[in-house]
Structure 1
Amino acid sequence: MNSSAMVTFLRRLFYIRRGARSFESPRYLLNWVFISTLIGVVAGIGAIAFYAAIHFATDLFLGHLIGYLPPSPAGEGEQTAVMSFWSSARPWLLPVVTTLGALISGIIVFSLAPEAEGHGTDAAIGAFHRGKAIRARIPLVKLVASAITIGTGGSAGREGPAAQISAGFGSILATVLRLDAQDRRIALATGIGAGIGAIFRAPLGGAILAAEILYKDDLEVEAIIPALMASIIGYSVFGAWSGWQPIFSTPVNLAFTSPPQLLYYVVLGVLCGLLGLLYARGFYGLTHLFHRLKLPNWLKPAIGGLLVGLIGLVMPQALGMGYGWVQVSMGQGLLSLPLWVVLLLPFAKIVTTGLSIGSGGSGGIFGPGMVIGGMVGACFWRLCYHVFPGIPDTPAPFVIVGMMALFGGIAHAPLAVMLMVAEMTGNLSMLAPAMIAVGIATILVGGTTMYTSQVPTRADSPAHRLQLSFPLLSTLAVSKAMQPLILQFAPGQFLSEAEDLLTKHAESGAPVIDQNGNLVGVLTLADIERIPPEERAHQFVNEAMQSDILTFYPEDTLDEALEGLSTRRVSWAPVVDAEGLTGSRNVLGLISVSHVVRLYRETIAKDARRMRGMVDGTVMIESVIEPEMLLAGVALRHAQLPAESLVVSIRRAGELLFPRGSSVIEPGDIVTFMVSIRGEERLQHYLTQQKEPVLIGAHS
């Protein structure tokens, strides 16, 4: 089997029919067991590499240069004792080290992959919704830059880079296997869950996080089963190297046994909700401040690193990931910390995280969020202990619930974060009071979120907008709308003959089929016109045809077909036989935008008023209105839209508006147009035009 046939074989093997996307389908199960296993293995190896890189950088920069190592949680290494910062060899070097590390990280990120800036989980969420591939270099850049940021004392977490490493591999794997748009998104979400589940040794929480963190008020349910498989594989690979113990050690007899204590957890939920809001607004406030600085982007992280180092001279507890200080705060070691440190540490951690990552540095915000929540719980216990009745004898319950409540609320992932913290601490007994605190914190944060790429629901995501806006399309198969072949070419035909046939039949193009009946390409008039007229009588079809073509199967649904056609910017595509795995592709017919519209119209013909204007030969185009576009700030009656185009709907701030002549299109609106095939180019040109700048004070 040659390489071309092998690629086709793999694509056919991993093709999953929309109607069979259920674990009741053995093929679905087989495909995702294989894909999830690969993603999980890479997630585990990536977690090992990132974990080792962080510890190497920490030992090098903080350990050898300064002589200070922050405490570690009980489940990670032997460095659990609290070391005095000022008794270290060269504490005065801290601002130099944090500045140098941030500068190196900034140079790496902005010279190699600017999209690796900031926290990786948000970038992966954005890639999911936009359906875009993650560049292959980003995971490596993220790993190195984040390890340097954290290892030099920057306040950042390790979950974002871990998620982006495995999510990036999921995106690459989807490209290699040529998975469709939906399966690419599922592979990417699976990578997010597997990476976080592995690095935190929390496979169940990581898998649920893959489905929950994409939305504010919804779940990507299709991602749960693949993420469960990948997450447990990633956890197994990482655990075989690092050990199986939870990250944090908790008292053996820790349990919730006093219902009156629920009142304290209500108060803790309120505190965590308020601090969660402060964390989000403070972080993005600092981020926007750095974005407004008129300095090179690679230099901004150095400024943030310098400020982090200066804060660290006063409060070294605010440096690095901070998990060791959470471990200290779970026991009686909390009483050995000065009260002012316990009170100020949550606020200092918010500031140092904003300075480290918001300045353009690289790292996660999940870990610092849990540290902030844990320290809120520790502070609450420290102030109430021996003052109010019924307070637990150890701060561990408040610390654990604080971690769950603060970040579970502000990340809009309450279920996943509760499970993750329970796995990280090896303790499930605090889930009951955590439900109270997390629920209250989630209500308090409202629509505010730490992940700006989150959308409210599946209906607001480009991944599902077409399916949910036109649900009927997802119930209709391509086989019902496709049309039989009118014209086809052989690879050895002359281009002049093909041109005459296309002109005679008034077709824009046709498939190219070899002597065995297999599809090998498509040829369009545009392809022919690129060849000089005098050469068309001597060149063959296979010299001008397109080999990388879009195809559909009879079982595909019309929403998939419409999404594929619009993404590839083509008006038609061949429909091929999906039976067998031999690599052959027999053309059964053609599917076009007009075919989809015709079947849709016929299906709902009994309600003709709703479909007025949905005629043959039309296409729907969705565009986000930018401030400089001609349409921005203009009423529709004055918009001078090209002929044969119509505004169908306006989506503004999550609301669907029905257009009228007086409707004014605002920047940021998502406008859906219906336009004829021949008018599409004019509409696309209109949407790319910009307003002429107004010259102030110009003289004739």
Structure 2
Amino acid sequence: MFSLAPEAEGHGTDAAIAAFHQGKPIRARIPLVKLVASAITIGSGGSGGRRDRRRKLARGLALCSEVSCTWTSRTGASPSRPGLAQASAPSSAPPGWGGAGSRNPLQTRPGSRGGVFGAWSGWNPIFVTHGSLAFTSPPQLLYYVVLGLLCGLIGLLYARGFYGITHRFHRLRLPKWVKAGIGGLLVGLIGLVLPQALGMGYGWVQVSMGPGLLSLPLWVILALPFAKILTTGLSIGSGGSGGIFGPGMVIGAMVGASVWRLCYHVLPGVPDTPGPFVIVGMMALFGGIAHAPLAVMLMVAEMTGNLSMLAPARIAVGISSIVVGDATIYTSQVPSRADSPVHRLQLSFPLLSTLAVRQAMTPSPLQLSPQQSVEEAEQLLGEHTVDGASVLDARGNLLGVLTLADSGRVPLGERGSRRVEGAMNRDVLAIQPDDTLDVALEQPTSHRIGWMPVVEVETATGGRHLIGRISTQEIVRAYPEALAKASRRMRGLVEGTVMLEAEIEPGMRLAGRPLREAQLPTESLVVSIRRQNELLFPRGSTVIEPDDLVTFLVSPSGEERLRAYLAERVERAEEAILLH
């Protein structure tokens, strides 16, 4: 396995996350090798889960489909996220929660795909719970607070223990197959003492949800979370293949079972069955350490077929997340959407998501007929100084696009006889007028094109009627115009006044002098000064310092004078620098 695909070792989720956020490719052979390697690891008694390998398998298949066919969704989305989401859905009967929170229509389709899979495989949850299981006693929330605290601490131990063992094996100067053998041997020795720590462990979770928990020795229940952390690290960290979600579920479940076993018949108000503590333990431990509280809560609820424990789970998961802090079980996970290259463009220009394409598009300067010759089309492109034009039929529907590069691929002697329809590109990336500008900016930059036709889709015929075009230059031009419009809207909040902000730089007239000496234009007033994280209320003796953010209140008639004053001081500062 190592010779075929060395990257198939490990749990695979980090590779899938990196493939999505950073565009790192997954080779086509990886899904199949990962499938076989995980089956060997788990089937031989190694501690691991199936879900993470499913994610890498689905991500790899999604990338293969993305490469083998041209992806022309108008949303510009990749099939990766539905693949990752759907990898989780079939194994736990929550067909839509894998894509919970997605704003892109394509990313919300795993629910329908999970429906197809569920219709074939069935809808039974993994774990069977009692139908009367419910949260009915508010005083029990104190126990869930303690459970959330313990799950957060054990979750930290899980993450640090797993990667600590992984790093130790990576530092060993031994062949990979030898390291995997050492890990397997140690797991087997642990299994001689505590066989419950081997394999996936879902069976012991099922036992711990009912009265069967009382038949297990107390030391086994207390030791199993720590033994599971150790066997998972040895099985996967040594070079084996398997997931870390499944062991995380088992660890969280046994933490909940331990709390219930210690409190039952000792403290008042403890539930009669361990099921509630086991379910909330699974949610709290992995929801906190994976930084995916909502998704894990909903997935576990569907895995158990019980939604009644979501209320106390919110408290436990919240406390667990606070305890965990910035630590995570997934090293490729980015701190926020702003740190992801996929979302960086959108979050760098947040106003673009509020603007529609129709606000920035322009009329198409040139339309071509499919019956025109390539030579004639090339002349028209040169006359209009454009590098491409849309090709329309008699009804104005978009058929394709002809660019100078397309015409250049036609032999020179054939351009007079070859028709545009034979040289144009029919696989056109188009956008609709109601799409947002962040999508319009992302699509051409990701496909390395300069402009896109704007079309309206006719519901009756399915034709795409051309109404204009949009380019990256027009989008960039629309952004400051939108900012200016937003500032004019703010001016209307206080009738007869204008508010302006200016950041003070070293060398400016305001820098380093009291307000009484600033000689501001008439009808101008400084209303606030923000200095780092402190808001100052100005007085005549207040000294303006560099990097201060000063807010001016000015009348509409004095706005131009204030702007001229601000611009003038910049010029005088430059003169002072030149004189010195």
TM-score (norm 2): 0.69
Contact 1:121 1:192 in 2 (8 A): no
Q: Matched residues in 1 for 2:259 and 2:228: separation?
A: 17
Match of 2:254 among 358, 375, 398: 375
Asked whether 1:410 is paired with 2:281, we answer no
Answer with 165-174 or 142-151: which moved more: 165-174
Q: Deviations over 1:604-658 (max 9, x none)?
A: 446899xxxxxxxxxxxxxxxxxxxxxxxxxxxxxxxxxxxxxxxxxxxxxxxxx
Contact 1:210 1:223 in 2 (8 A): no
Q: Matched residues in 2 for 1:585 and 1:393: separation?
A: 63
Max Rg structure:
2
Contact 2:77 2:106 in 1 (8 A): no
Calculate percent identity across the aligned residue pairs.
63
Q: Which runs of 5+ in 1 are unaligned?
A: 1-103, 213-218, 610-700
Give the CA RMSD over aligned residues.
4.3
Match of 1:342 among 212, 221, 245: 221
Match of 2:127 among 224, 241, 248: 248
Equivalent residue for 2:475? 596
Equivalent residue for 2:99? 210
Q: Where does 1:681-696 land on structure 2 (aligned, <5 Å)?
A: none
CA distance 1:576–1:435, shift in 2 (3 Å): closer
Q: Matched residues in 2 for 1:172 and 1:180: separation?
A: 16
Answer with 593-602 or 285-294: which moved more: 285-294
- Give the deviation of 1:235 after TM superposition: 3.5
- Give the deviation of 1:477 after TM superposition: 3.4
- The one-letter code sitting in structure 2 at the alignment partner of 1:210 is G
Q: Matched residues in 2 for 1:499 and 1:171: separation?
A: 37
Q: Where does 1:33-112 land on structure 2 (aligned, <5 Å)?
A: 104=1, 106-107=2-3, 109-110=5-6
Q: Matched residues in 1 for 2:365 and 2:357: separation?
A: 18
Q: Matched residues in 2 for 1:523 and 1:148: separation?
A: 53
Q: Matched residues in 2 for 1:302 and 1:598: separation?
A: 61
SS of the aligned residue for 1:269 comes to helix
- Give the deviation of 1:402 after TM superposition: 1.9
Equivalent residue for 1:58? none
Equivalent residue for 1:358? 237
- Give the deviation of 1:255 after TM superposition: 5.3
Asked whether 1:322 is paired with 2:201, we answer yes
Asked whether 1:152 is paired with 2:152, we answer no
Equivalent residue for 2:320? 441
Q: Which runs of 5+ in 2 are unaligned?
A: 489-580
Match of 1:470 among 349, 355, 362: 349
Equivalent residue for 1:235? 118
Contact 1:211 1:221 in 2 (8 A): no
Q: Deviations over 1:457-482 (max 9, x none)?
A: 44444444433432332343334433
Q: Matched residues in 2 for 1:260 and 1:487: separation?
A: 72
Answer with 568-577 or 390-399: which moved more: 390-399
Q: Deviations over 1:324-349 (max 9, x none)?
A: 22233344544554554433321221
- Give the deviation of 1:410 after TM superposition: 1.4
Match of 1:570 among 449, 462, 480: 449
Q: Deviations over 1:369-408 (max 9, x none)?
A: 0101112223334445566566555544433332222112
- Give the deviation of 1:447 after TM superposition: 2.1
CA distance 1:222–1:120, shift in 2 (3 Å): farther
Q: Matched residues in 2 for 1:295 and 1:524: separation?
A: 57
Q: Deviations over 1:203-248 (max 9, x none)?
A: 2xx5334326xxxxxx7596896455444554343226xxx3x433
Equivalent residue for 1:666? none
Q: Matched residues in 2 for 1:239 and 1:467: separation?
A: 39
Q: Matched residues in 1 for 2:333 and 2:172: separation?
A: 26
SS of the aligned residue for 2:431 comes to coil
Equivalent residue for 1:200? 92
SS of the aligned residue for 2:77 comes to helix
Q: Matched residues in 1 for 2:136 and 2:368: separation?
A: 78
Q: Matched residues in 2 for 1:552 and 1:173: separation?
A: 23
Contact 1:575 1:590 in 2 (8 A): yes
- The one-letter code sitting in structure 1 at the alignment partner of 2:432 is Y
Contact 2:129 2:304 in 1 (8 A): yes
Q: Matched residues in 1 for 2:362 and 2:120: separation?
A: 50
CA distance 1:570–1:319, shift in 2 (3 Å): same
Asked whether 1:143 is paired with 2:35, we answer yes
- Give the deviation of 1:532 after TM superposition: 7.6
CA distance 1:590–1:346, shift in 2 (3 Å): same
- Give the deviation of 1:322 after TM superposition: 0.6
Contact 2:58 2:87 in 1 (8 A): yes
Contact 1:199 1:238 in 2 (8 A): no
- The one-letter code sitting in structure 1 at the alignment partner of 2:198 is L
CA distance 1:400–1:595, shift in 2 (3 Å): closer
Q: Matched residues in 2 for 1:506 and 1:413: separation?
A: 51
- The one-letter code sitting in structure 1 at the alignment partner of 2:258 is C
Q: Deviations over 1:109-160 (max 9, x none)?
A: 43xxx4x554354444445545789777655444333323221222111222
Contact 1:194 1:232 in 2 (8 A): no
CA distance 1:297–1:503, shift in 2 (3 Å): farther
SS of the aligned residue for 2:100 comes to helix
Equivalent residue for 1:180? 73
Contact 2:253 2:281 in 1 (8 A): yes
- Give the deviation of 1:444 after TM superposition: 0.7
- The one-letter code sitting in structure 1 at the alignment partner of 2:328 is T
Contact 1:154 1:356 in 2 (8 A): yes
- Give the deviation of 1:323 after TM superposition: 1.1
Answer with 266-275 or 513-522: which moved more: 513-522
Asked whether 1:557 is paired with 2:449, we answer no
- The one-letter code sitting in structure 2 at the alignment partner of 1:379 is S
Answer with 274-283 or 418-427: which moved more: 418-427
Contact 2:287 2:293 in 1 (8 A): yes
CA distance 1:515–1:292, shift in 2 (3 Å): farther
Q: Matched residues in 2 for 1:493 and 1:258: separation?
A: 78
Q: Matched residues in 2 for 1:299 and 1:497: separation?
A: 69
Aligned residues: 488
SS of the aligned residue for 1:483 comes to coil
SS of the aligned residue for 1:550 comes to coil
Match of 1:510 among 389, 405, 415: 389
